Amino acid sequence: MLIIPDIAKPLNGRNGGFTYKSIVERLGQIMDKIIKNNNYTKEIQDRLLELKAEVSDKDGKVPSANIKYIQQNDEFTAWKQCEQSFDVTKNTWLDLPWFFTENYFYRLILDIIGYFDESSPNYLADPFTQQKEESLSDPIEHGTIKAVSQETKEFEQGPLDEASKTEHMQFALLNALWGNQADLSFSGGARHDHQKTEDLKKDMKEKREHVISDNVDETVKTLNSIQEGSFGLIADNCGQEFVNDLYLAETLTFLNIAKTFTFYVKSQPVFVSDVMEKDVHFTVDQLIQHADPITQEFAERFKQHFDQGRWKITPDPFFTGPLPFHELTSEMNNKLKLHDVVFIKGDANYRRLINDTLWDTKTEFSSIVGYMPTNVVALRTLKSESLIGVAEDTFEKMNKKDSEWRFNGKYGLVQLFNKK
């Protein structure tokens, strides 16, 4: 159980700064993209614009709509309970907890477009499909996926001594970390600028100085202690990030560290580019059609892992709800505790992990996430202010170096919690 002190409550729009701008500016930009990319009726467009006007109000408006459509699971009940506990009929979008606000915004969009209505032409139609597909086509075009494939192939054909295995696992972890920079909800739906690199391994080494909380070596040591283990990865974004996640899983599978690997994904659209089960299949299928034969080879291997059950995809409504990880459902808690290690990807999942709270930044990671049922590795580029596990001297140095370091996506962390 996570005990939240009174002085460390979850962020909301009244905190000002980045959190305020994220609500009143960025959510509206995301809505504009949704309307532009989808052929919705005028009635639906008008309702979406009403929601945009509400969340964009600089003084804060009370939500005028609430969740109506019911799914065949506990998702609807959980949302209705949250609507009551957060008193959404009285609190404005700026007064509600930020993490709730963002998730609620996306859930209301699905209601408005008829995502859960079997009689609607938009039934189960992802409003972010176009942006998700572009998030994969861009890195294919710029050669970044080919570079990951070639680096991984060179490792597999190498001597496979302890030094080379350690070096490649460091690369795989950092590559999975920096893939998280490509987040369409963070950019307001704008496409990520993929930089073509001639030496991906060198690039990862140089960017390591931007890892402000670095447990990479400790994580590699933990991974090396496991043979034929069970792993989980709570996924974040489509595109380059999820491709890098697949290659991390492949490295652990190739080295016989992982016998099974489960990807936990969203059960419905949220945060623009977040991975759903359909996106996993789309990604693998696109990589199979890649012009690079090495990428094709790996993609066929990925498909075989899924087909033969070594790799699994587990969608769950918990990951699209507003609750923090310390309120995990008993069902999900029981699934996670079966893994030797769970990788937690991205900014939103990290916020969920530490209750999206402004803790003292030097608070130890393990002291907050000790409620988790197994070993945890957080891989996150910083796109919001919630943060722990940063040494005081690093914190002071970063404040002098870059006033926006906590939310501009240029810095990252790799944090390890070992369950005793």
CB 360 within 8 A of CB 386: no
Q: What is the CATH number of the domain that holds 143?
A: 3.40.50.10880
Q: Which pLDDT tens digit goes with each residue over 233-269? A: 999 999 999 999 999 999 999 999 999 999 999 999 9
3 lies in some domain: no
Do 28 and 145 sit in the same domain of this protein?
no
CB 235 within 8 A of CB 271: no
| pLDDT of 173 over the 70 cut | yes
Do 80 and 141 sit in the same domain of this protein?
no
pLDDT attached to residue 186: 60
Of 345, 366, 370, 368, nearest to 358 by C-alpha is 368
Do 366 and 293 sit in the same domain of this protein?
yes
Query: H-helix or E-strand containing 259?
Result: strand 258-266
CB 417 within 8 A of CB 372: yes
Over the chain, what is the mean pLDDT? 92
pLDDT attached to residue 58: 94
Do 90 and 157 sit in the same domain of this protein?
no
Of 28, 23, 237, 273, nearest to 126 by C-alpha is 273
Number of domains in the chain: 2
8 lies in some domain: no
Query: Measured between alpha carbons, how far is 100 from 321 in angstroms, rounded to an integer?
Result: 8
Query: Measured between alpha carbons, how far is 355 from 352 in angstroms, rounded to an integer?
Result: 5
CA torsion angle 401 405 408 410 (round to 10): 70
Q: Which pLDDT tens digit goes with each residue over 332-377? A: 999 999 999 999 999 999 999 999 998 999 999 999 999 999 999 9
For the whole model, what pTM was predicted?
A: 0.95
| Beta partners for residue 12, in sequence order | 97
Q: What is the CATH number of the domain that holds 71?
A: 1.20.930
Query: Measured between alpha carbons, how far is 183 from 274 in angstroms, rounded to an integer?
Result: 8
Write the DSSP symbol of residue 187: T
Do 254 and 230 sit in the same domain of this protein?
yes
Do 160 and 241 sit in the same domain of this protein?
yes
Q: Are strands 258-266 and 375-381 parallel, antiparallel or unpaired?
A: unpaired
